[in-house]
Amino acid sequence: MELLGSGASPFVRKARTLVVEAGITDIPYVEVTASPMGGEDKINAANPLGKIPALTRDSGPTIYDSNVICRFLDDHAMAGLYPEARLWEVLTLEATGDGIMEAAVGMIYEQRFRPKTKIWTPWFEAQWTKINRALDTIERQWLSHLHGPVDMGQVSVACALGYLDFRFPDDDWRTGQEALAAWYAKFAERPSMVATAPA
């Protein structure tokens, strides 16, 4: 098996963080170039949508979409990062982190691939509204979960916050989210987060 991805992607980071947290050592990570406009042949052959991450397997088709990969790897390693006792909470928090990533990645794609004269400011503002709403909800409703045993909901939120810092360093998401910021500062010190931090 090989995990294909790009180190800048928060979705790839989520899968790579799981690999470290689960103690998986037999799945190499392979850096590829992916793009919504068409990436390199290796990723396009692995995933017909050309999206990362993708997990190639020796027997069976390639698995793609970060959520599918994470569920597969968690099961493969019996890591328990999707605990049955609170599965729906974990999946909902993971979806919230993923939604922050989707909004942030969408803004980057808009800046990178759309002509500057076609960029629509209200659309950008709408993405930030989604992100801020999600952060407010995590701050109000999910802090006790964040401080519980490590699971993929926490990993997704941490990767989302790391991506905001990476791509939007001048936008201060921490103001008004002081408890979430304090949690993230500590979680970001985990070896899995340090090992997968984007360059």
Predicted confidence (pLDDT) per residue in 72-126, tens digit: 999 999 999 999 999 999 999 999 999 999 999 999 988 887 788 887 888 889 9
How many percent of the chain have pLDDT more than 70?
Answer: 100
Residue 113 neighbours by CB distance under 10 Å: 10
User: Is a pLDDT exceeding 80 seen at residue 37?
Assistant: no
Average pLDDT value for residue range 15-28: 97
> Which pLDDT does position 149 carry in this prediction?
96
Strand partners, 3: 29, 55
The CA distances from residue 121 to 14, 107, 134, 170, in Å, are 29, 10, 20, 17
User: Is a pLDDT exceeding 80 seen at residue 195?
Assistant: yes
Q: How many helices (H) and strands (E) does the chain have?
A: 9, 4
Where do the domains of the chain lie? 2-77, 84-190
Average pLDDT value for residue range 12-26: 97
> Which pLDDT does position 42 carry in this prediction?
85
What does the alpha-carbon distance between residue 114 and residue 126 come to, in Å, rounded to a whole number?
Answer: 17
Strand residues in 90-171 grouped as ranges (E): none
> Which pLDDT does position 120 carry in this prediction?
84
Q: Cβ(172)–Cβ(135) under 8 Å?
A: no
Q: 20 pLDDT band (50/70/90 cuts)? A: very high
Burial 45-71 (b: 16+ CB within 10 A, else e): ebbeebbbbbbbeeeeebbbbbbebbb
Q: What 3-state DSSP class applies to 135?
A: helix
- In the numeric block, which tokens belong to residue 56? 């190639």
Q: What 3-state DSSP class applies to 140?
A: helix
Place of tokens 């409703």: 141
Q: Cβ(69)–Cβ(47) under 8 Å?
A: no
User: 2-77: which CATH architecture?
Assistant: 3-Layer(aba) Sandwich (3.40)
Q: What is the reported pTM?
A: 0.94
> Which pLDDT does position 95 carry in this prediction?
98
Multiple choice CATH, 84-190, 1.10.260.40, 3.40.50.1980, 3.40.630.30, 1.20.1050.10: 1.20.1050.10
> Which pLDDT does position 70 carry in this prediction?
98
Q: 62 or 42: whose pLDDT is higher?
A: 62
Across the chain, mean pLDDT equals 94
